[in-house]
Amino acid sequence: MRFDTALFELEGVLADTHALRRAALVRSLADDGVALTEEAYDARCTGVPVREAALAAVTAIAGDGQRFDETALDLIALRAERYFQEQLGKGVSLAPGARALLEDLGGRVRLGIVTRASRRDVDFVVGLAGLDGLFECLIAAEDVRVPKPAPEPYQRAFDRMARRRPARPAATLAFEDAPSGILAARALKLRCVAVGAMPAFHAVEADAYLPSLVGQSLATLNDLLAPERRERSGARAARGGATDTAGVAPAHDAESESP
């Protein structure tokens, strides 16, 4: 089935925020004497809210997360968010290929953002990029009680879009940059494309994998998700590869540039 709705994670998919997030948490932890390497951040903290990333970091790096009580973790997260805001205010780039893909999809499929980012960050990036009015719904961190990997953020998006007309999960494509987002999408039986640098054992949980959005369009995405393409990819993966050269991951059947 071709898709008629596309829901995007903002951070790491549409906006190139990974390095900013990493630098902000590294700096905040350093204030408390915890040395977090870039490699450790990438392995343990990518794609999760900043407080969860802080807990994962101190538990793995300091070896005793118990020494940081709830208040200490809150302060680490608040500092990291402040450092991130300082850098974000200097400007942020859209991810390569993001603007061209959104322009190609706009007016042809329904578009939304479902993100772990704050509403302030979403509004800033979307406004700076000149993408106001392109998205039918924006679901940010403040809009949900339980973030990804819970399905609530995506369910909120469907509830919001239903005010105009219902969107069909089976005809919706989610774009995610981290395992938590992939799990959230799959919990509602959405087809999901993993985007960006990601270990194969995480990417394989999505329906397809793309190193970036460069060169993507409505036509290429429909082709990427075509059943026969996915079946061929699944056969290749069974012989030992997680993805094929086109970036297609083993299939899971879904039920019915600067701004």
Beta-carbon contacts of residue 157 (< 8 Å; ≥ 6 apart): 7, 112, 114, 137, 139, 167
pLDDT number for residue 247: 57
Residues 52 and 103 grouped into a single domain: no
What was the pLDDT predicted at 114? 98
Q: Clarify whether residues 33 and 140 are in a common domain.
A: no
77 and 101 in one domain? Answer: no
Q: β-pairing, 208-210 with 172-176?
A: unpaired
Residue type, 177: D
Do residues 55 and 105 share a domain? no
Give one word for 247, left, alpha or beta, with left for phi > 0 and alpha for psi -120 to 50. left
**Res. 137: pLDDT tops 90:** yes
**pLDDT tens digits for range 16-44:** 999 999 999 999 999 988 889 988 898 88
Q: In the prediction, which pLDDT does 43 show?
A: 86
- Same domain (yes/no): 74, 140: no
Whether residue 123 sits in one domain with residue 12 = yes
Q: Which strands sit side by side in the sheet containing 110-114, from one edge to the other?
A: 137-139, 110-114, 5-8, 172-176, 191-195, 208-210
For residues 72 and 198, membership in a common domain is answered with: no
Which residues form the domain of 156? 5-16+93-238
- Are 69 and 100 contained in the same domain? no
163 contacts 125 by C-beta, under 8 angstroms: no
Residue finishing a domain among 88, 111, 127: 88
Alpha helix segments (H runs only) across the chain: 18-31, 38-44, 50-57, 70-88, 98-105, 119-129, 152-161, 179-187, 200-203, 218-224, 227-238
pLDDT of residue 233 exceeding 80, the answer is no
d(CA 110, CA 124): 21
Q: Is residue 82 part of a domain?
A: yes
**Confidence bin at 47 (pLDDT 50/70/90):** confident
In a domain, residue 246? The reply is no
With a cut of 60, say whether residue 254 has pLDDT above it.
no
Task: Give the pLDDT of residue 66.
Answer: 57
Q: What is the pTM of this model?
A: 0.86
10 has a pLDDT exceeding 50 = yes
Question: Are 74 and 135 contained in the same domain?
Answer: no
Please report the pLDDT score of residue 215 as a whole number.
Answer: 97
Residue 49 in this model has a pLDDT that exceeds 80: yes
Same domain, 46 and 123: no
pLDDT tens digits, 140-192: 999 999 999 999 999 999 999 999 999 999 999 999 999 999 999 999 999 99
Percentage of the residues of the chain whose pLDDT score is greater than 70: 85
The DSSP call for residue 97 is T
Instruction: Decide which of 31, 63, 88 is a domain's last residue.
Output: 88
Task: For residues 97 and 35, state if they share a domain.
Answer: no
Q: pLDDT tens digits for 58-113?
A: 888 766 545 678 899 999 999 999 999 999 999 899 999 999 999 999 999 999 99
Q: Are residues 27 and 119 in the same domain?
A: no
Last residue in a domain, options 59, 88, 117: 88
